[in-house]
Amino acid sequence: MRNYNFCSGPAALPEPVLRQAQEELLDWRGMGASVMEVSHRSAEFDAVAKQAEADLRELMAIPANYKVLFLHGGASHQFGMVPLNLLGGAKTSCDILDTGIWSEKAVAEAKRYGGVNTVKALVQRDGLFAISEPASWKLDSNAAYVHYTPNETIGGVEYHFIPETGGVPLVADMSSNILSRPIDIEKFGLIYAGAQKNIGPSGLTVVVVREDLLDQALPFIPSMYRYKTHAEHGSLVNTAPTFAWYLAGLVFQWLKAEGGVAALGERNARKAQKLYDYIDASGFYSNPIHPSCRSRMNIPFRLADESLNKAFLVESEAAGLMALAGHRSVGGMRASIYNAMPEAGVDALIDFMREFARVNG
Ligand SMILES: *Cc1c(COP(=O)(O)O)cnc(C)c1O
């Protein structure tokens, strides 16, 4: 029996995707071998790679002047690759909007390769955490790019708007909310996302980059760190993470069958709203984020009596609700409800929380 899995990442994958992968594991496309065991240069794998890219382009409505890269590694690699690839032109500094732990990691890495103007974008409003007024941000019109984290996976803070940068390329670490709602790609210079939250298994990172940004890399960087190298070789410079790429492709097909990103966006809004509504009304649980910027993907919450945390985790686990512990740096609880979390999983969580509060409140 499968649990409802609230892990922040690696996160739950859609069950139909896992079933298809299981069915095809021993004998993929009549090849007498699994997809993991065939050449990344084979016509069969090439078809997988091209289909995955075409499906992602369709799902996100990515224009032709953007490259889609399927890279090794995690989003953390991009904290370095972004400045290495974008700070080697005439402009040698960047702005980074700081809304929490993931933004701060991006700041620390970018500082190794150029100037960083860190813009504090998280403030207190009505006793809750909130994204500050964009009018208060001191952005540098001469920056090479502005980096932000549309969804802070640990804090549970999400922008429900796209920052205006006055023509400076906008870079987004979309690891935990890519494909969760429709977005206008043309507002972005570069988007990256580690796969293990909303795309597929870990070990793969997707980068969507506007072509005109491929020519401003720092000269000394290894060719494997250059976006341009990967763009010129269809992300097949060397042995790609083929199984992760294949699984990502199955997830894209599942997303299309579910009605695409618009349909998922509505479902995600509904899932998050009912959980927040329950938390706010409960008198037993609380969420520290201002309603204007609450995440639809990662919902942290605390119990009024934290001595009950252990019991909450043991009993939720026993009820088939997995991985609700908050990030080790903040404690409390967190429910990650990405695309693959069905609405029934959120309903089951709310039922459990209500019963736990009734017995222990
Ligand atoms: C998970 C996450 C990361 C780190 O991803 P890795 O693939 O583990 O390097 C970076 N940014 C955000 C927003 C994340 O959610």
Tokens (6 digits) for 84? 């290495």
For the chain, the residue count is 361
pLDDT in tens, 24-74: 999 999 999 999 999 999 999 999 999 999 999 999 999 999 999 999 999
pLDDT number for residue 239: 97
Interval 325-352 mean pLDDT: 96
Query: What is the C-alpha to C-alpha distance for residues 107 and 84, in angstroms, rounded to an integer?
Result: 13
Q: Is 279 in contact with 287 (CB distance < 8 Å)?
A: yes
293 C-beta neighbours (distance < 10 Å), count: 24
Q: How far is the CA of 346 from the CAs of 4, 18, 271, in angstroms?
A: 9, 21, 6
251 to 148, 196, 226, 361: CA distances (angstroms):
26, 11, 27, 41
Mean of the per-residue pLDDT values for the chain?
A: 97
Ligand 1 centre from 84 Cα, in Å? Answer: 18
Q: Are 315 and 347 in contact (CB under 8 A)?
A: no
Between the two ends of the chain, the Cα-to-Cα distance in Å is 31
Ligand 1 site residues, Cβ closer than 6 angstroms: 9, 74-76, 102, 149, 153, 173, 175-176, 194, 197
* pLDDT at residue 189, as a whole number: 98
pLDDT band of 361, cuts 50, 70, 90? confident
What dihedral do alpha carbons 349, 351, 354, 357 form, nearest 10°?
-60
Cα 74 to ligand 1 centroid, rounded to whole Å: 7
Q: Please give the sequence-ordered ranges of beta strands (E in DSSP) within the chain, or none if there are none.
A: 4-5, 66-72, 93-98, 115-120, 122-125, 128-131, 146-148, 151-152, 157-158, 170-173, 190-194, 204-210, 285-286, 298-303, 321-322, 333-336
How are beta strands 93-98 and 115-120 bridged, if at all?
parallel
Q: What are the tens digits of pLDDT across the range 280-289?
A: 999 999 999 9
Residue 1 has a pLDDT of 83
The residues near 247 (Cβ < 8 Å, ≥ 6 apart) are: 13, 17, 21, 200, 201
Q: What is the pLDDT of residue 182?
A: 98
Active site residues: 102, 173, 197
Q: What angle do CA 25, 30, 31 make, to 5 degrees?
A: 80
| pTM reported for the whole predicted model | 0.98
Q: What is the mean pLDDT of residues 154-172?
A: 98
> pLDDT tens digit string along 340-355?
999 999 999 999 999 9
Two structure tokens written together for 302: 């605390």
Residue whose Cα lies nearest atom 3 of ligand 1: it is 75
Q: Which atom of ligand 1 is nearest to the CA of 202?
A: 7
Share of the chain above pLDDT 90, in %: 99
> What is the pLDDT averaged over residues 322-347?
96
Could you give the 3-state DSSP secondary structure of residue 47? Answer: helix
Sheet with 285-286, edge to edge strand ranges: 285-286, 298-303, 333-336
* Structural domains of the chain, with CATH: 4-12+260-360 (3.90.1150.10), 17-257 (3.40.640.10)
What is the arithmetic mean of pLDDT over 296-325? 98
pLDDT at 317 exceeding the cut of 90: yes
Question: What does the block give as tokens for 219?
Answer: 């000269």
User: Are the beta carbons of 94 and 114 closer than 8 angstroms?
Assistant: yes
State residue 63's pLDDT score. 98
Q: Whose CA is nearest to atom 8 of ligand 1?
A: 74
Give the residue ranges of DSSP H helices in 258-326.
260-282, 309-318
Considering the chain, what percentage of its residues have pLDDT values greater than 70? 100
- Three-class DSSP labels, 238-262: CCCCHHHHHHHHHHHHHHHHCCHHH
C-alpha 338/C-alpha 199 separation (Å) is 10
Question: What is the pLDDT averaged over residues 231-240?
Answer: 97
pLDDT mean over 86-97: 98
Distance 148 CA to ligand 1 centre (A): 13
Q: What is the DSSP letter of 142?
A: T
DSSP string, 89-105: SS--EEEEEE-SHHHHH
Mutate which of 8, 153, 175, 176 to test ligand 1's pocket (most atoms within 8 Å of Cβ)? 175
